[in-house]
Homo-oligomer: A and B are copies of this chain.
Amino acid sequence: VVRVNPEKKEEKERVAHALLRATLQLAAAHGFASLGLREVARAAEIAPTSFYRHFGDMEELGLSLVEQLVGPFVASWVEQADAAQGARQACDAITSQALAGAAADPELMRFVLAERVGALPKFRTALTNKLAAVAEAFNSAFAPELGGSEGVAHEPLSAAALALLLEGCAEALERGPEHAAVVRERVMAQLSLLLTGARGARRAP
C-alpha cells in the first residue's frame, strides 16, 4: 500500500492541466488531428518522455480533455436554466452562458465545435454525451409550455435548439466577443421561431 502526498498529486494535476491547455491552444491554430506528442510537450514545457507519465497517447489526452475541461464548460451553460421562469428566459440563460463561454475560452469552444463533427467517432460520441445535458435543459425549458405528450415528442425541438445554439457559438467565434450581444439576439430570435412554431403545432396538429 502506497500513500500519495496531496502536494505531489496536486503538482501532477498541474502538469496534466498544462498539457490539456497547450493542446487546446495548438488545436485552435492547426487542428487537433495535426498535433504531435512532442509538439504538445514542448508547449507545456516538459520533456517529451514525460508526456507518458500522464497520457498513453494523444487520443487518450483528447478524451481526458473532454472529461476534464469540456464537461464543466458545457455544464456551466446550463447552470442557471433551472432558475429561469418560462421557456424564453431559460433559453436566454443558456444562450447567454454559452456565448459567455465562447468569449472566455474560444479555444475550448473551437475544440467542442470541431471535434463534435470531426473524423474521430470516439470524440464525436464523447462530446455528444456532454452536450446531451444542454439538450435536456432545452427540453425541460420547453416541456411546461407545451405539455401534452410527456416530453418524448419534443425531442426534435430540443435537438434543433441545441443545433441553433452551437451555430450561434460558431458565429460568436468568427465575429469575436464584441459582437456577442448581436449574436445572442440572433440566436434568441431563432429559438423564438422554434418555440412559437411548437406552440402553433400543438394547437393545430
On A, residues with C-beta under 8 Å from B are 27-34, 110, 113-114, 116-120, 124, 156-157, 159-160, 163-164, 167, 170, 174, 186, 189-190, 192-201
CA distance A163 to B200 in the complex (A): 22
Q: Complex formed: what's the CA distance from A58 to B199 in Å?
A: 49
Question: What are 24 sample pairs from A and B whose C-beta atoms fall under 8 A apart?
Answer: A27-B119, A29-B119, A30-B119, A31-B33, A32-B33, A33-B33, A34-B34, A110-B117, A113-B117, A114-B114, A114-B119, A160-B194, A190-B194, A192-B197, A193-B193, A193-B194, A193-B197, A195-B197, A196-B196, A196-B200, A196-B201, A197-B197, A197-B200, A200-B200
Q: What's the dominant secondary structure at chain A's contact region?
A: helix
Write out the residue numbers on chain B whose beta carbons fall within 8 Å of the beta carbon of A189: 156
Residues of B within 8 A of A157 (CB): 190, 193
- Hey, which chain B residues are within 8 Å of A174, CB to CB? 124
Residues of B within 8 A of A197 (CB): 192-198, 200
Identify the closest chain B residue to A110 (Cβ): B119
